[in-house]
Chain A
Amino acid sequence: DAKTTQPPSMDCAEGRAANLPCNHSTISGNEYVYWYRQIHSQGPQYIIHGLKNNETNEMASLIITEDRKSSTLILPHATLRDTAVYYCIVRVDSNYQLIWGAGTKLIIKP
């Protein structure tokens, strides 16, 4: 089981904020939420991660709900180069594996 649920695809207009949701209702107390993206036929690229608090870096912001059952990745000003598959992942702390779902295919439209 992927432990996360994401919509299969989303569109966003160039220059707008892209908000990508993720549900992780079975997350345990010390499991982090990671976001990666994969541009076609390349290796995944790390974006951001968080545990409880909201996080921001040069690429994106991560908003985690207070009950930690869902999160949203925000790309503040989407560009065409942000078109990719975005993966929300909960790390399994017992054996330190990432469990990957199918992700959200984000298409940025001009």
Chain B
Amino acid sequence: DGGITQSPKYLFRKEGQNVTLSCEQNLNHDAMYWYRQDPGQGLRLIYYSQIVNDFQKGDIAEGYSVSREKKESFPLTVTSAQKNPTAFYLCASSIGRGRLGYGYTFGSGTRLTVV
């Protein structure tokens, strides 16, 4: 079955450390997205990519970095510059730019806790 796989499900990080969250999809989707969710709130866009080797900042990109070297993969690095990284991180994909009317498929999320 096609879908999006995020790993790990839970992640603990010491202050000052960088950490990378994995996101892989086998849906042949062009576009991929990273969202952050804090308790009781909606999703906020961190970064998105419409095509391989290209990505754009979302609303809260500071302290995060991404790469898109392969269509299937869109890893997110939470750097030490992110002041409050403890949150639930969600990866999503969609068919892509110019294809209105198509929904997004989400992964099951990674819960990051800074200890």
Residues on A lying within 8 angstroms of B by beta carbon are 2, 30, 32, 34, 36, 41-46, 49, 51, 87, 91, 93, 95-98, 100-103
Contacts and interface: CB of A to CB of B under 8 A. Distances in A.
Contacts of A43: 4, 6, 90, 92, 106-109
B68 interface: no
> Chain A binding site: helix, strand, loop or mixed by DSSP?
loop
Interface of B: 4, 6, 31, 35, 40-45, 48, 50, 56, 58, 88, 90, 92, 94, 96-97, 100-101, 103-109, 111
Nearest to B96: A96
B45 A97 contact: yes
A98 B101 contact: no
A34 B103 contact: yes
A44 B43 contact: yes
B105 A41 contact: no
18 contacts: A30-B100, A41-B88, A42-B108, A42-B109, A43-B92, A43-B107, A44-B104, A44-B106, A45-B106, A49-B103, A96-B97, A98-B43, A98-B45, A100-B42, A100-B44, A101-B42, A102-B40, A102-B42
Contact of A100 (B6, B40, B43, B111): B43
Given A42-B108, A43-B106, 17 more contacts: A30-B100, A32-B100, A34-B103, A36-B103, A41-B88, A41-B109, A43-B108, A44-B43, A44-B90, A46-B103, A87-B42, A95-B56, A96-B48, A96-B94, A96-B96, A96-B97, A98-B45
Nearest to A35: B103
Contacts of B107: 43
Contacts of B56: 95
A93 B100 contact: yes
Nearest to B90: A43
A62 B88 CA distance: 29
